[in-house]
Amino acid sequence: MSLPKIIWSKIDEAPALATYSLLPIVNAFTKSAGVDVVTSDISLAGRVLASMGLAEDNLAELGRVVLQPDGNIIKLPNISASIGQLKDCIAELQSQGYDIPNFPENPQTDEEKEIRAKYNTCLGSAVNPVLREGNSDRRSAKAVKKFAQNNPHRLKPFAEDSKAYVAHMEGDGDFYGNEKSVTMDKAQKVTIALNGKELATIDALEGEILDGTFMSVAKLRDFIQKTIDEAKEKGVIWSIHLKATMMKISDPIMFGHAFEVFFKDVFEKHADTFAELGVNPNLGMSDLEKKIAGHPKEAEIKADFQAVVESDSPKIAMVNSDKGQTNFNASNDVIIDASMPVVVREGGKQWDRNGDALECVAVIPDSTYAMFHQEMVADCVKNGQYDVTTMGTMQNVGLMAQKAEEYGSHPTTFELEEAGTVTVTAEDGTELMSFECEKGDIWRMSRAKDIPIKDWIRLAVERGQIEKYPVVFWLDKNRAHDAEMIKKVEKYLPEFNTEGLEIHIMDVASATRFTNERIRRGENTIAVTGNVLRDHLTDMYPILELGTSAKMLSIVPLLAGGGLYETGAGGSAPKHVDQFLKESHLRWDSLGEFLALAESLRFIGQKHSDEKLKALTEALDKANEGYLDNNKAPSRKCGEPDNKASHFYLAQYWADALANGSNAELAEKFAPIAKALKENEEKILEELLAVEGKPADIGGYFKPDDAKAEKAMRPSETLNKIVDSI
């Protein structure tokens, strides 16, 4: 019997390389139960080619799949491209013979503007808003949590007199302080205008929450300078933490202002040269160095920047001290939801230019979500580091369906070209909100629709009833958006079965303290949050609890009835690829993919009763337990078993479980496979390790050559023959 297919996303970097090894194994097993796993290329390179009409628009097609009741997608982490990454990708594709234009950084002609508009669709988090037609259910599988407690990773202690802290803006200068929010009483067009000139028009729905807010750039620059002065005074490393990948309009601008303020003397001294060369501080030091390359003042400019770094006044955090790359190398080098967990994990420290780990101030300008990170650091400064062996868990239900854009939707985010009044006006003439802004301020609108909000509340209650943990809505009555959300929660909660549940509504600081107090006691909590906090919490807590967020179950029950199963976190993927290219060792852990596949198969089984499928899923669950219990995660070191070996062990445990499972036909089919995998274990590992220590040629970073990449990731002829024989 043919069952619904699973779509496996073809994406980027380390998880893409792992797919070349893992997917042949997956398909060999799932086909035995009538399930086909097919790929869909939504990589950055694939999307670039699609935008230029040279490839199918697979992302648009998957956007239709998520609206189908049987839609079933396993989505691996993809590049949320910065302008720098996009330009590198374009250059690689051009070198491979694709006839595509350069990226117009400052488009002037209509043709350049059209090209830029097409490429803009590939920037930032272009994939997630299309696929996330449901809300997020993220938690650690019980077997994963148990393994982490029994095999604790290392969290470095905070000093008793730790000086680490988080700094954020306060008052009316940031997005939090300036926010206004309304709930639409009817569906109609809404227009955003600056001094009467239209910036954008949207189609708002009845019951939809609209937020408007802005960041005062003058106050931002004053705040940055203040933190620099304080870091110098307190003797801590200075660092800035933003989300330039997801918030692709606002955060690169904030990054650019911070870059200019930190190196203000250099920018003032070389202002004319930078203007002549088109230097854009929003793109960071790496792009600046490309712009000044070959200029008569290149050496002088580099020396001036280096003098500021070496003055240690204050010390600046480094993204790569060996290469001399500071926190300002590129806007997407330091991604807050990945970088702040590292600050906590390392005992409130970051690395200076000498490679020494020192206490830091983490600068997060917008207080809306900085309050969470401030509480996390302050809690550890006060109470010490967490104990991995005893700490409880945080599960998260996140509002993200139908582009719940708390981040600020990109089409409604603007760097204001003049000072004046921004108005938000409904089609019937009602002025919904207005703001007095200065030139250069960052204004944005965020949106959250009513149907996803109600589903989010339903999902929170459902998880609460399953787990019987306290359910906490992270909503701040003093934040305009959250005040409207609280009204929705109070309206819809009575429609669901909340009997026996402990439900709270708390502001961010209170919710963090409540959750952390329980975690330190070994107790579990369900955090119910908006889209941004979902991102921050589901990296912070898993990295502390499990060592990585890649081991979290990330399930998106789609509103139409299907399922989206997200795997891993791609923040460290570039480093993994660098190591692989150098020595053929891939340390990416595919456990997230293993767990997602089990949930994807389970979803099919819930809709289509089939004995083979049931046995296949049960066997995969046992294989995942065996993978954890026997600690078969990839080693970080070349010459030891890596990602390829971890896939071999999954196959071995899965085949063994099927051979001893409940379905006689599958048991007969897989008994010889299990025997062959076991008997040839030593030989297979020898073949896998034989390639280690040698450079790998995959034919491209953003668009590998499939034949070369498969050869590099499937070097064991013995394993390949066994798998291909199934």
pLDDT in tens, 187-227: 999 999 999 999 999 999 999 999 999 999 999 999 999 99
DSSP 558: B
pLDDT in tens, 64-81: 999 999 999 999 988 888
pLDDT at 125: 80
Closest residue by Cα to residue 525 from 543, 508, 539, 511: 511
Residue 303 CB partners (closer than 8 Å, separation 6+): none
Q: Kind of pairing, strands 503-506 and 471-474?
A: parallel
pLDDT at 408: 61
pTM of the model as a whole: 0.89
Q: How many CB atoms lie within 10 A of CB 166?
A: 23
Q: Residues 250-268: what's their mean pLDDT? A: 97
pLDDT in tens, 161-184: 999 999 999 988 999 999 999 999
Query: Could you tell me if 336 and 241 are in contact, meaning their C-beta atoms sit under 8 angstroms apart?
Result: yes
Alpha-carbon distance of 592 to 573, in angstroms, equals: 14
pLDDT at 517: 98
pLDDT band at residue 278 using 50, 70 and 90 as cut-offs: very high
Alpha-carbon distance of 552 to 693, in angstroms, equals: 31
Share of the chain above pLDDT 70, in %: 98
Query: Could you tell me if 443 and 206 are in contact, meaning their C-beta atoms sit under 8 angstroms apart?
Result: no
pLDDT at 403: 82
Share of the chain above pLDDT 90, in %: 90
Q: What angle do CA 118, 121, 123 make, to 5 degrees?
A: 120
| pLDDT of 516 higher than 70 | yes
Q: Residues 317-322: what's their mean pLDDT? A: 93
Alpha-carbon distance of 726 to 724, in angstroms, equals: 6
DSSP class per residue in 71-100: -EEEE-----B-HHHHHHHHHHHHHTT---
Q: Residues 534-548: what's their mean pLDDT? A: 93
pLDDT at 407: 65
The phi, psi pair for 314, rounded to 5°, reads -90, 175
423-427, 531-535, 689-693: which has the minimum mean pLDDT?
531-535
pLDDT in tens, 543-599: 999 998 888 889 999 999 999 999 876 555 678 999 999 999 999 999 999 999 999
pLDDT in tens, 600-633: 999 999 988 899 999 999 999 999 999 999 999 9
pLDDT band at residue 506 using 50, 70 and 90 as cut-offs: very high
pLDDT at 569: 64
Alpha-carbon distance of 565 to 428, in angstroms, equals: 42
Alpha-carbon distance of 454 to 465, in angstroms, equals: 17
pLDDT at 472: 98
Q: Residues 523-537: what's their mean pLDDT? A: 95
Alpha-carbon distance of 365 to 367, in angstroms, equals: 6
Query: Could you tell me if 406 and 535 are in contact, meaning their C-beta atoms sit under 8 angstroms apart?
Result: no
pLDDT in tens, 624-674: 999 999 999 999 999 999 999 999 999 999 999 999 999 999 999 999 999
pLDDT at 171: 85
DSSP class per residue in 678-707: HHTHHHHHHHHHTTTTS----S-SSS--HH
